[in-house]
Chains A and B, each alone.
Chain A
């Protein structure tokens, strides 16, 4: 059964730093992996989608990588800003379902 883990559960860094969020999964048979952002009391915003055949995707200051064989994905945030503060979730698409990690709560200190 697919399991998705995100480490760390929480992260606090000063503004301007580059940072990496981690996502690992147990079964490499996936269709794709998606990174989401969740703000308190709000819904989920899709950030990046990486297909199983891809190695990385970029959007602005965000870069997501995927290493299917090792069951890992990273979300790199460059030049962090206070507005990046949110919970970041990764979800693996396998067998008609999204399997979710519990998220990393990110706080960017001004």
Chain B
């Protein structure tokens, strides 16, 4: 089954304790991205990756790191989490950010709800 998976689905942690949220897709997509969703603010892009070893900042990259060593994986790293990073996080992928008709639909993972105390 074609899908985007995220782990963990729920995480409660404390300020300053490094954590990683994994994201994996099995659709051979080139483009992957991370979003956070906060009440009243909608979804905002954190980082995106056009392909292996190519990453770029989105609208709210502060406090986050990413890596794209393999095409299928795009982990989100919080080196020193703070309470303002409490949010619902989504990973997404698509075949390419632009491209031919029907190829640029974005597929989303189930979300990771993170609480930083």
Residues of A within 8 A of B (CB): 4, 31-32, 34, 36, 42-46, 49, 51, 89, 91, 93, 96-98, 100-103
Contact = CB atoms under 8 A, between A and B. Distances in A.
Contact of B40 (A51, A97, A102): A102
B111 interface: yes
A44 B108 contact: yes
Contacts, number: 58
Question: Which 8 A/B pairs are nearest by Cβ-Cβ distance?
Answer: A44-B108, A100-B43, A43-B110, A102-B42, A100-B42, A96-B97, A49-B105, A43-B108
B57 to A, nearest CB: 10
A102 B42 CA distance: 4
A42 B107 CA distance: 14
A83 B59 CA distance: 34
A70 B10 CA distance: 41
B109 interface: yes
Interface string B84-117: 0000001010000110011011111111000000
Contact of B43 (A46, A49, A91, A96): A91
B74 interface: no
B101 A51 contact: yes
Contacts of A96: 48, 50, 56, 97-98
B42 A31 contact: no
A44 B90 CA distance: 9
A31 B98 contact: yes
